[in-house]
Amino acid sequence: MKTLIMVPAMGCDRGLYVEQARGLGDIVSLQTIIADGDRLEACVEQILAAAPERFVILGTSFGGRVALETALAAPDRVEGLVVIGASAGPSPNPAAGLERSRRLRSAEFNQVVEEMANMIAHLPGPLGPEARREFIRMAEAQGGELMARQSDALAHRANLVPRLGEIACPALMLWGVEDRFVSWQDGLKMAAACPHARFVEIKDCGHFPTLEAPEETNDAIRHWLAANGLGDDKSP
């Protein structure tokens, strides 16, 4: 059985993928790895040290960027790539990212988490309020220092757009249409730039499809895995 490595978003833990563990565990072996280096290169090293020799990788937001970096760093080991709500471009404002890191390390931690939660969830959506609450729970459990290191890593990220054509493995770009951090148009462009990529959008959903639209997310991932021979065949 193939291994699907899942890399959570900034401040998140395996709670981000509870429904994927329930809904995909029959076709892939699931492993969650929290990357928390202060540079993306260090995060990639964490993934490669903990992952099996060959694996499929999925990541959300910060975790999606780590997944993308991992696919480029180790093309001989990554058999498939799923990116959810993550940019391939450089930080549009590194100073703002580093300021967020400073605030996360200070008494403003709870305020920053609230600000992020209000942007992450599409509150009018069916599970938007629940997704907001779950993000706050995870962020409080992970703490300010871990989130600040992840914020530092994103602030220093390079522009990977020119390298997207190097991703030879099958890829899935999965986006909530109401994502306020990274627009679905960015995901569509990423998919178009990769040689073997599919783009899936989920309506009435924000930055965390795994929480806000778990059934649709699982259906999209299962179909993509099956189409690319990356999941165990469960057909009769």
Angle, helices 109-120/128-142, rounded to nearest 10 degrees: 150
Phi and psi, residue 55, nearest 5°: -160, 160
- Cα 128 → chain centroid: 18
Q: How much is the pLDDT for 234? A: 59
pLDDT confidence of residue 236: 38
**Predicted pLDDT of residue 75:** 98
pTM here? 0.96
**Per-residue pLDDT at 229:** 95
Profile the chain (236 residues) by mean pLDDT over runs of 10 residues. Answer: 97 98 96 98 98 98 98 98 98 96 98 97 96 98 98 98 97 98 96 97 97 98 96 63
* Lookup: tokens for 151: 């914020």
Q: What per-residue confidence (pLDDT) applies to 121? A: 95
Q: What is the pLDDT of residue 203?
A: 96
Task: Say what the pLDDT of residue 235 is.
Answer: 45
| Residue 66: closest CA among 105, 24, 38, 100 | 38
Domain boundaries, the chain: 3-227
Q: Which CATH number fits domain 3-227: 3.40.50.1820, 3.40.1360.10, 3.40.50.10420, 3.30.930.10?
A: 3.40.50.1820
141, two tokens: 């459990």
